[in-house]
Every structure is written in C-alpha cells, then in structure tokens.
Amino acid sequence: MSGGVDSSTTAWLLKEKGYEVLGATMCIGVTDKTPGSPARCCGLADIEDARRVALQLEIPFYVIHLREEFEEKVIRYFCEEYAQGKTPNPCILCNEKVKFGSFLEKALELEADLLATGHYARLDYNERIGRFLLRKGVDRKKDQSYVLFSLTQDQFRHTLFPLGELRKEEVREKAFRLGLRVHDKPESQEVCFIQETSYHSFLSERLREPIESGPILDKDGNILGRHKGIPFYTIGQRRGLRLAKGKPLYVIQIDRERNAIVVGGEEDVRGDTFLVDSVNWIAAPETIPLQNAHVKIRYNHPGSEASISPKGEGEWEVKFKSPQKAITPGQAAVFYDGDTVLGGGWIKEVLS
C-alpha cells in the first residue's frame, strides 16, 4: 500500500472478494516532497495515508523497512548508469529487486500467500505451456506492463494485479463511493527518491568520481561547445545544449571514453537496429514470434513492429521495420505480441 488511490482500492477489492487482507507499506527512507514539487510516492505522509486507509478498511497494517535494499539495488544502479552515459529506469529495478524481491520475501514471512499491488496490468496462467503470462492492462493509458517485464515466473506465482481489468476513472469512482480519503490524491509522476525538479544535484552529491565537463562534437568531430558532464544528458535531448547553430540540435551519442557528447539533426536521432542484453523471456521461447514482435523502447513509447534475433551469447538484436526516435542505452526494450508481454531486455548499444 503506497498511500495512493490505486493500492488503497486494491485492498478494498480483495477484501470484498473474501480474501484475508494484510496492508503493508515499504519504507525506503524517502523524505517527503518539498512544497510545490511534483507528487512522489513512498514518503512518510504516504505511509500515514496507507495506515489510515488500512484502519478504515479494518485490516492489519505493517511498515516494512527496506532502506538498505533500496539504496543498494536501486539508487546505486541509478547513479552508476548515468555515470556510464546511460539513461536508467529505476522503477523497473525497484519492481524486480525490491517490491517483488525483498518486499515479497517479507510478506511471505508474515505468512501471506500473495502480494497484490495497484499496477495496471493483467496476469494469466496458461495451463498448456505451464507459465504465467503478463498482459497489458485494459486501461491502455495507464498500462504498466512495461515496468514489470523483468519479473520471474516464481514472482508471478505469488502476485495479483486486481486493477488490470479496470480503468483509472473507475478506480477513482470506487474510492470516492467508499469514502477513501485518497480518492482524489494526485498521482506520483517523478523519481520517488529525488526531491528536486532536476536530478543533477542528486547525482553530483552521490557519484563517487567528480563530474567533469567535456566537448560537444558534431558528427565529423568538430568541437561546437562544452557540456556540463555526461551524466546530465540523454539521447534525443535538445534543451540545455546552449548551441546556436541555426537549426535544432539533439544529443545523438554519449561517448564515455572521450567524455564527449555528439550532436546532430533530428534525422540523426532516429535509428532502427540495436542490441539488448539480460533478456527475460516471460512466454515460452518456442511460442515467441521473433519476426514480427511489437517492441517498446521506453515507457511512453507507443511501440513499433520489429524482428528479434539471437546475436552472440546473452545478446539479441532488435531491428525495427521503420526508424524510431531516441533509442537509448540503459532503457528497457520490451517485446509484445498483441497485449501479451513476450519478454524484454536492456538496450546495450545502438547499431544503426
């Protein structure tokens, strides 16, 4: 229970269906947001909101302390990826390693059988192939299957997604009718452990090595200016380059070895072929349509048709049928067949 409308309504739905429900919240050491900053989850005020909802629903409530695990598995990853010139997605690692990792382990120690969350996704068990299959939520605008691609079959075995068949407006309506105080609570929009509107100061404080400026280059290697440090840039970025060249310029490459940012025109941001590693297959390998999968390269990417083929040990090559904007190392590439998640991996390198 994060203290928001989704997990609160989830608890009520399960109790209504006859489950014995225990409410539990992760405490990961996040301080409350500063006035005027975007809404974030997991602060002390959110824990208190969850506690009040549990009291209203008359269910037991636990606070599970996972600060060390979150620091080690999420924050450290976040900083190290940026230091390497990549753009991380901490929500995916939080789900895999903390929420459905350490938190699930604690829930099982409390003799719970299942962990239910407010994610907008669906989970089915296919008896023919003997596997759980992850599918998009009915509410396509809120679908969160992308950030769940790395979960294992054993994690799915202990998981429920009660909101997968509902739309967000239905959830808020149910919460309003129940009189839940969080029915109109704003959604969390930003990285929960960063209080500022920019992550730059957070990285400056956390990274072990100093962040050094370096050259901004064009495709031919000409120096156009200076950047503030490669952790502060991502592929496709336009703002903050401070270059006046008569046309829009975008980051098209981050060269860690030369400590350089390479820029080009909008046409240079697009690519069609890249490598992924650390692939997790959810569907049975023999059932996967590798030649015409639908691939998403970031959470808000609509997805596009692509072929997927093995490329060396532990790596797969993804080739879009039409070029896509800002294929970004460090982000996840998630493979779909219709609304079913086939699997996914981490973008390692853009080939063309």
Supply the residues annotated as catalytic. 94, 192
Residue of 223, 303, 267, 323 whose CA lies nearest to 344: 303
φ/ψ of residue 301, rounded to 5: -80, 135
Cβ-based neighbour number of residue 14 at 10 Å: 18
Residue of 78, 90, 76, 77 whose CA lies nearest to 41: 90
φ/ψ of residue 208, rounded to 5: -75, -35
Q: Which long-range contacts (CB under 8 A, 24 or more apart) does 253-257 make?
A: 254/85, 254/86, 254/230, 254/329, 255/85, 255/217, 256/84, 256/85, 256/230
**Bridge partners of residue 318, in order along the sequence:** 274, 308
The conformation of residue 99, written as its DSSP 8-state character, comes to I
Pairing of strands 270-281, 293-296: unpaired
CA distances from 217 to 18, 50, 86, 222, 266 (A): 62, 50, 18, 5, 15
